[in-house]
Chain A
């Protein structure tokens, strides 16, 4: 009899604890669900905030980085003397590697018609260092900019670059609209 009573008590405690835990789980679940969103989110760089610090090339968990240079052709001046392609003070406007800003020669310079050239990024080679972006922004229209490429990005729970980005340029945006490509404009999207 005494044995039975003890068992009953143990069962009772177990049951009570189980219900309490279950209820708190439900509570957390419901409270969190009100803050949740059915939309999927991905990491992306806001090109208007990015200052091309170079960490995108070094801090991504992927090697080479999932960040690549993107060319917003709409904004491009097709310059012969491209500030993103040539080193400042390059002595010859030639495609020789010593004249190029890009450390991996990932930019192809293609003649279109006098005096215009098209610049094409080879994503296989680009490491996302942003050197060209800086050059283009300083001397040109700013048509080159960095973006996280979602075919390469693992969509880490916390983007390793976002953590170290000095400009706070990386944040989560809805996956249905996963890029912030500079268009034919030079101000931020909102303005």
Chain B
């Protein structure tokens, strides 16, 4: 039906411009005598919109299943099968696209570019996992994320990472998230998609260097479990926030934790919180910590200002990632390149008839966006850093073994280690 409609549309279009254009052809269309019939160009249809909605439906089903497996059924085995399905469906069949991680950029661009048309299905991919995380924890990571699945299934010999290293690495996803939004919002690039290490493996086709990166990640992932999730994933930041306050997060023990320590080594991601020894908490240590805590609390505005200032200063450098800015800049600093016939971008620009002034105006506009964005991004990163440092001095109260609600992927591995019987 759509095919016919588009044909009709094209036909109308053809007849509309028929007379105007006829005279401009160099060689008139011949009048054939042999009864030759002119073929029409074929137009193979894209994957139908209905199929995109089917994907949303599959995501919803997988999310529900993962949440049920983690919280009600408490089955690691089931979760493995579900990950396998996700890997095959969202990974290899759908070739890792569209994914919730990348959808951050579409949503960001929609907010900053009024001309951008955001697909409702993409919005659904962005929202559904976050909504689920708010209720059930990061069950998306456990069973519905193809990137998570491919990393999770190859965890062979995970090593425990010292806590200070982990806490330092925790900062990077924020940086990635911030830059992804900055680049998307300025219409520069979709870096999450471009540097997705696994999409090349899902497609079995990518630039050599990206395949290499993917394989390197997988290899590293055998020992440092889920490296992409823990050090890079920008969507993980949002999921972490949601999950931290989730209503029904999975628990290690089906009933009361008896502090047997059996589950302690079970988590490959070091996401289990270990009880704090209350005896170590002396009057003086509490006071000392409180002092430091307040000191760093007061320091937070300084971090924000410093971050914002630094990144807004860097806007000239950052904006070079944008092709328009880059072109304008190189034409100004190296006018001799105009004669370089090898440089496609410059030659195309020179032939396009666009004036230098127009280009510079366009570039300035984008660069200003980067300056403003630099303030926001730097401020945000300063805030995150400030809070992270301040949190070093909170007195954590932890009485039982339980998953860290923010960092736990709800993969359900630890459940099998708990000897406590389920209450009937």
User: Residues of A at under 8 Å CB distance from B?
Assistant: 14, 17-18, 21-22, 25, 28-29, 31-33, 35-42, 51, 53-55, 61-63, 70-79, 112-113, 116, 118, 140-141, 149-151, 153-158, 160, 163-164, 166-167, 172, 175-179, 181, 183-187, 189
Is B417 positioned at the interface, with any CB of A under 8 Å from its CB? no
Of the listed stretches B117-125, B252-260, B408-416, name the one at the interface; the rest are far from the partner chain.
B117-125
Please determine whether A158 and B190 come into contact, CB atoms closer than 8 angstroms: yes
Q: In the complex, what residues of B have CB within 8 A of residue A153's CB?
A: 46
A36-B120, A154-B95, A158-B194 as given contacts; A183 in contact with B14, CB under 8 Å:
yes
A140, B28: Cα distance in complex, Å: 10
Per-residue CB proximity of B199-236 to A under 8 Å, as 1/0?
Answer: 00001011000000000000000000000000000000
Please determine whether B14 and A74 come into contact, CB atoms closer than 8 angstroms: yes
Please determine whether B120 and A38 come into contact, CB atoms closer than 8 angstroms: yes
Please determine whether B351 and A51 come into contact, CB atoms closer than 8 angstroms: yes
Please determine whether B9 and A172 come into contact, CB atoms closer than 8 angstroms: no
Is B157 positioned at the interface, with any CB of A under 8 Å from its CB? no
Q: List 28 A-B contacts (CB under 8 A).
A: A21-B134, A25-B131, A25-B134, A32-B111, A35-B116, A35-B118, A36-B117, A39-B49, A53-B348, A54-B344, A55-B344, A74-B14, A77-B25, A112-B32, A150-B43, A151-B45, A153-B46, A158-B105, A163-B194, A166-B345, A166-B348, A176-B5, A181-B10, A183-B17, A185-B14, A185-B17, A187-B20, A187-B24
A158-B194, A167-B352 as given contacts; A39 in contact with B117, CB under 8 Å:
yes
Please determine whether A31 and B46 come into contact, CB atoms closer than 8 angstroms: no
Please determine whether B46 and A184 come into contact, CB atoms closer than 8 angstroms: no
Please determine whether A73 and B38 come into contact, CB atoms closer than 8 angstroms: yes
The residue in B27, B107, B241 that gathers the most chain A C-beta atoms within 10 A of its C-beta is B27
Is B102 positioned at the interface, with any CB of A under 8 Å from its CB? yes
Q: In the complex, which residue of chain A has the Cβ closest to the Cβ of B345?
A: A166
A77-B26, A177-B6 as given contacts; A33 in contact with B47, CB under 8 Å:
no
Given pairs A32-B123, A74-B14, A116-B36, 15 additional interface contacts (CB within 8 A): A25-B242, A32-B110, A32-B111, A36-B120, A42-B46, A51-B348, A113-B33, A113-B34, A116-B32, A167-B352, A175-B49, A176-B5, A178-B45, A181-B10, A186-B25
> How near does chain A come to B248, taking the closest CB pair, in angstroms?
11
A62, B111: Cα distance in complex, Å: 30
Q: In the complex, what residues of B have CB within 8 A of residue A62's CB?
A: 205
Is B162 positioned at the interface, with any CB of A under 8 Å from its CB? no
Is B164 positioned at the interface, with any CB of A under 8 Å from its CB? no
Please determine whether A112 and B36 come into contact, CB atoms closer than 8 angstroms: yes
Is B285 positioned at the interface, with any CB of A under 8 Å from its CB? no
A38, B117: Cα distance in complex, Å: 9
Q: In the complex, which residue of chain B has the Cβ closest to the Cβ of A73?
A: B38
Please determine whether A155 and B17 come into contact, CB atoms closer than 8 angstroms: no
A154, B120: Cα distance in complex, Å: 18
A118, B29: Cα distance in complex, Å: 12
> How near does chain B come to A52, taking the closest CB pair, in angstroms?
10
Choose among B21, B130, B246 the residue that contacts A25 (Cβ–Cβ < 8 A): B130
Please determine whether B131 and A186 come into contact, CB atoms closer than 8 angstroms: no
User: How many A-B residue pairs lie within 8 Å, measured between CB atoms?
Assistant: 195
Please determine whether A156 and B193 come into contact, CB atoms closer than 8 angstroms: yes
Please determine whether B203 and A158 come into contact, CB atoms closer than 8 angstroms: no
Q: In the complex, what residues of B have CB within 8 A of residue A55's CB?
A: 344
Please determine whether B26 and A141 come into contact, CB atoms closer than 8 angstroms: yes
Q: In the complex, what residues of B have CB within 8 A of residue A54's CB?
A: 344
Is B335 positioned at the interface, with any CB of A under 8 Å from its CB? no
A37-B117, A184-B18 as given contacts; A189 in contact with B13, CB under 8 Å:
yes
> How near does chain B come to A153, taking the closest CB pair, in angstroms?
7
Q: In the complex, which residue of chain B has the Cβ closest to the Cβ of A113?
A: B34
Is B89 positioned at the interface, with any CB of A under 8 Å from its CB? no
> How near does chain A come to B187, taking the closest CB pair, in angstroms?
10
> How near does chain B come to A188, taking the closest CB pair, in angstroms?
10
Q: What 3 pairs across the A-B complex have the smallest Cβ distances? A: A77-B27, A185-B21, A151-B44
> How near does chain A come to B55, taking the closest CB pair, in angstroms?
11
A41-B119, A176-B6, A183-B14 as given contacts; A155 in contact with B114, CB under 8 Å:
no
Q: In the complex, what residues of A have CB within 8 A of residue B117's CB?
A: 35-37, 39, 41, 172
Please determine whether B27 and A141 come into contact, CB atoms closer than 8 angstroms: yes
Q: In the complex, what residues of A have CB within 8 A of residue B131's CB?
A: 22, 25
A40, B134: Cα distance in complex, Å: 29
Q: In the complex, what residues of B have CB within 8 A of residue A160's CB?
A: 194
Please determine whether A40 and B49 come into contact, CB atoms closer than 8 angstroms: yes
A40, B34: Cα distance in complex, Å: 43
Choose among A17, A25, A158, A166 the residue that contacts B344 (Cβ–Cβ < 8 A): A166
A32, B10: Cα distance in complex, Å: 32
Q: In the complex, what residues of B have CB within 8 A of residue A42's CB?
A: 46
Q: In the complex, what residues of A have CB within 8 A of residue B352's CB?
A: 51, 167
> How near does chain B come to A41, taking the closest CB pair, in angstroms?
6
